[in-house]
Structure 1
Amino acid sequence: MLNRLFHIAINSTDLDRSVAFYQRLGFQALQDRSVRNDMVKEAFAVPSGDLRFVHLRLGEDDNATILDIVQWFHPDTEDTGTEPVAQHQRGLTRFSVLTDDTQAVYDELAAEGVEFITKPTVVMTPEGGWKVALVKDPDGVVVQVTELLAAPAAG
């Protein structure tokens, strides 16, 4: 039935600004395309098929999940002025990217002026844990920077 997660679409009010943010996180642009097509209008139930999108990928795996950053035109992508869903509320709250060093990512991006929601924090379970830091992209989408941690040694 289903094979894998193909892409995550993120609507942006400023495509170039959003792409620059994700490239700072290490994503690479695969394609940058403008589309003006009535089939898009029908397929996605939107007022206009006029858009520009950039596909971004982490790493070299051709099967990796893609970020599809989209800016719509006529009407333009709307800035609703509302805050994204809180982490404990129903709905998509965040997506996570893996790193070998959450602290280094945090330090580098914070030095560039990127504002994080949380500082790197360790969450441990008996099976292992994570070091995570949350950051918002320019349109308020929450990205969880995650480092996997081994289980504590028995004893």
Structure 2
Amino acid sequence: MRRFWHVGLNVTDMDRTIEFYRLVGFEVVQDKELEDANLARAFMIEEGSKLRFAHMRLNNSPDEAMLDIIEWRDVPVTRERSIADTVNPGLCRFSILTDDIQGEYDRLSVAGVKFLHTPQTVMAPDGVNGWKILFAADPDGTLFHFVELVGDSAKH
């Protein structure tokens, strides 16, 4: 294995999603439209071939994992939004590490991002180390959260 490469997100409106993740801090690495039935079959889409995909990453660094965002153009969507939760099996969220969770909350709240709660602090039993956590959902309901490390782990 080499490294963690990307998280794939199916979306209903590519432009809206790109704008949302740009606001969060991601940059577009590539954005393409394709018509390729073989590619669709490889993704287990039997009756489609048209798609638009965008790769986005933080810090414009090839060492960062990407968001692989896909909008299928000729496949019927069976539901409008993701049914995301943090309990049931399956992808429940992805995480963005930050050094200033309150700053991200303030900046993005003003820009219209709807958070699921205010920043929360969770401390380890030692009372020194822990995390600050802040959950949000993208325009299609995919959950993600910001994490700020607290204590000794924040120094590394």
The CA distance in 2 between the partners of 1:60 and 1:120, in whole Å, is 26
Count of residue pairs the alignment pairs up: 150
Structure 1 unaligned residues grouped into runs of 5+: none
The secondary structure found in structure 1 opposite 2:99 is coil
The secondary structure found in structure 1 opposite 2:95 is strand
The secondary structure found in structure 2 opposite 1:61 is coil
User: Equivalent residue for 1:74?
Assistant: 74
CA drift of 1:90 comes to: 1.6
User: Equivalent residue for 1:53?
Assistant: 53
The CA distance in 2 between the partners of 1:21 and 1:79, in whole Å, is 23
Contact 1:13 1:79 in 2 (8 A): no
User: Equivalent residue for 1:42?
Assistant: 41
- Deviation digits for residues 66-120 of structure 1 (CA, Å, limit 9, x no counterpart): 10111001124x2614652321222111000011101110111111221100110
- The answer on 1:9 being equivalent to 2:4 is no
User: Equivalent residue for 2:146?
Assistant: 145
The CA distance in 2 between the partners of 1:22 and 1:111, in whole Å, is 15
For normalisation by structure 1, the TM-score amounts to 0.90
The CA distance in 1 between the partners of 2:78 and 2:94, in whole Å, is 20
The secondary structure found in structure 2 opposite 1:109 is helix
The CA distance in 2 between the partners of 1:61 and 1:9, in whole Å, is 18
Q: Which amino acid in the other structure matches residue 132 of structure 2?
A: K
| Matches for 1:6-155 after TM superposition, within 5 Å | 6-46=5-45, 47-76=47-76, 78=77, 80-81=79-80, 84-125=83-124, 126=126, 128-151=129-152
Q: Which amino acid in the other structure matches residue 27 of structure 1?
A: F
RMSD: 1.7
Structure 2 unaligned residues grouped into runs of 5+: none
CA drift of 1:49 comes to: 2.1
Q: Percent identity?
A: 35
Q: Which amino acid in the other structure matches residue 16 of structure 2?
A: R
Deviation beyond 6 Å, 4+ runs, structure 1: none
The CA distance in 2 between the partners of 1:144 and 1:93, in whole Å, is 10
The CA distance in 2 between the partners of 1:31 and 1:102, in whole Å, is 28
The CA distance in 2 between the partners of 1:31 and 1:149, in whole Å, is 34
Task: Specify whether residues 56 and 150 from structure 1 end up closer, same or farther in structure 2 by C-alpha distance, changes over 3 A only.
Answer: same
